[in-house]
Chain A
Amino acid sequence: MPKTDAEIIKAAKEDLSHFKPLYQKWVSPVYRYFLHRVNNIKEAEDLTSQVFLKVIERLPTYRENGTFPAWLFTIAHHQRVDHLRSNIAVLPLEDITVKSLSDDLLDQAIKAGEYTKLRELIRLLPENEQELIRLRFVAMLSYREIALVLKRKPDAVRKKIFRLLDKLEDQLEDNYV
Chain B
Amino acid sequence: MSEMFILSIEKKIHRAAMMPEPSKDFQDRLWDQLRTHHNQPDTRTHIHVLRRHPAWIVIAALLIVFIALFIGFGPRNVYAFFRQILGIGDAGIQSIQEVGLVTDLELTTVPTLIPDESASAITPHNATVVALSETHEGVTLTLDWVYVDEGRLALSWTTGTLPEDLTYGIPAISMNGYTTPQAEGNIQTLRKENNQLIFVSYQVIQVDTVGEAFGFNVDLPLVRKNEQSDESLALFHFELQDIPVFRGRTVPLQQTYAHQINGIELRLESIQMTPSSTELVVCNDYPTDDGSHWTLQNATLQMGDGTEENNLSYSVLDESSDGTCVQFTFETSSDAGAKHMTFRVYELVNETSEEVMTGLWNFYIDLPTTEDFNTEVSETPEPTPTEIGSQTVSDVTVTLEWVFVDALRAAVGYTITGLPDVPEAVGVQGNIHLYDMEGNEVGGAGIGTSNVVRVDDQPGAVQGTWSVGFMTPLEQTEASFQLSITLGSTQQYEYIAGFPISPEATPYPAGEQPPSLPDQFLGTYVFDFTTPIQPLTVLTNIPTVTVNGIEVIVPRAELTASMSKVMICYQKPSERDWWIFDAVVSDGTDESHMSGGQVLYDPDVSVYSGYNTENWQIPAEFQTVEHGRCLLLDFLQGKDQSSGILTLIIPALEISPPEVIPDAELEAAYVILEAQGIEMSYEIYRGSGGGGGGVTYTTLPEGMTDEEAYQKFLEALGYLYEGPWEIPLINQE
Contacts and interface: CB of A to CB of B under 8 A. Distances in A.
A162 B12 contact: no
Given A52-B30, A137-B14, A127 B9 contact: no
A98 B18 contact: yes
A7 interface: no
Given A127-B354, A128-B351, A110 B12 contact: yes
Given A110-B12, A162-B6, A122 B30 contact: no
Interface stretch (B31-39, B394-402, B685-693, B713-721): B31-39
Nearest to B1: A166
B428 to A, nearest CB: 64
A16 B227 contact: no
B33 A27 contact: no
A98 to B, nearest CB: 5
Contacts of B38: 16, 56
B352 A119 contact: no
Contact of B22 (A27, A71, A82, A118): A27
Contact of B21 (A23, A31, A53): A31
Interface in A119-135: 119, 122, 126-128, 133-134
Contacts of A99: 20
Given A45-B22, A57-B44, A74-B313, A84 B34 contact: no
Contacts of B313: 74, 78, 151
Nearest to A82: B49
Given A126-B352, A165-B10, A144 B228 contact: yes
Nearest to B352: A126
A168 B15 CA distance: 14
A27 B228 contact: no
B236 interface: no
Contact of A118 (B12, B225, B315, B352): B12
B34 A16 contact: yes
Contacts of B356: 85
A101 interface: yes
Interface residues of B, number: 53
Contact of A169 (B5, B315, B331): B5
A23 B331 CA distance: 24
A147 B276 CA distance: 23
Contacts of A137: 10, 13-14, 17
Interface string B289-314: 00000000110000000000000011
Nearest to B327: A151
B227 A148 contact: yes
A57 B354 CA distance: 30
B305 to A, nearest CB: 24
A138 B19 contact: yes
A4 interface: no
A17 B49 CA distance: 30
Given A74-B313, A126-B352, A118 B13 contact: yes
B76 interface: no
Interface in A17-70: 17, 19-20, 23-24, 27-28, 31-32, 35-36, 44-45, 48-49, 52-53, 56-57, 61, 63, 65-66, 70
A81 B228 CA distance: 21
A125 B26 CA distance: 30
B16 A118 contact: yes
A165 B9 contact: yes
B30 A27 contact: yes
Contact of B165 (A65, A81, A147, A172): A65
B101 to A, nearest CB: 27
Interface in A96-110: 96-101, 106, 110
Contacts of A119: 16-17
B18 A122 contact: no
A86 to B, nearest CB: 7
Contacts of A57: 37, 42, 44
Nearest to B10: A165
A118 B313 CA distance: 32
Nearest to A102: B15
Given A16-B34, A16-B35, A82-B49, A45 B26 contact: yes
Nearest to B227: A66
Nearest to A99: B20
Contacts of B227: 65-66, 70-71, 148
A56 B34 contact: yes
Contacts of B226: 65-66
Contacts of B21: 28, 31-32, 100
B351 A152 contact: no
A161 B18 CA distance: 18
A28 B6 contact: no
A110 to B, nearest CB: 7
Contacts of A36: 17, 19
A143 to B, nearest CB: 11
A23 to B, nearest CB: 6
B331 A61 contact: yes
B316 A151 contact: yes
A65 to B, nearest CB: 5
A96 B20 CA distance: 8
B366 interface: no
Nearest to B347: A85
Nearest to B53: A85
A138 B17 CA distance: 6
Given A137-B10, A148-B227, A151-B313, A115 B34 contact: no
B627 to A, nearest CB: 42
Contacts of B327: 151
Contacts of B449: none
Nearest to B15: A115
Nearest to A114: B12
A88 to B, nearest CB: 11
A56 B1 CA distance: 43
A152 B20 CA distance: 29
A63 B6 CA distance: 35
10 closest A-B pairs (Cβ-Cβ)? A151-B315, A66-B227, A32-B19, A118-B16, A31-B22, A137-B17, A16-B38, A65-B226, A35-B19, A115-B16
Interface of B: 1, 5-6, 9-22, 26-27, 30-31, 33-35, 37-38, 42, 44, 49, 52-53, 164-165, 225-229, 276, 297-298, 313-316, 327, 331, 347, 349, 351-352, 354, 356
Interface of A: 16-17, 19-20, 23-24, 27-28, 31-32, 35-36, 44-45, 48-49, 52-53, 56-57, 61, 63, 65-66, 70-71, 74, 78, 81-82, 84-86, 96-101, 106, 110, 114-115, 118-119, 122, 126-128, 133-134, 137-138, 144, 147-148, 151-154, 162, 165-166, 168-169, 172
Given A31-B21, A48-B26, A53-B34, 5 more contacts: A23-B31, A28-B21, A57-B37, A126-B352, A165-B1
8 contacts: A31-B26, A49-B33, A57-B44, A70-B227, A97-B20, A137-B13, A165-B10, A165-B13
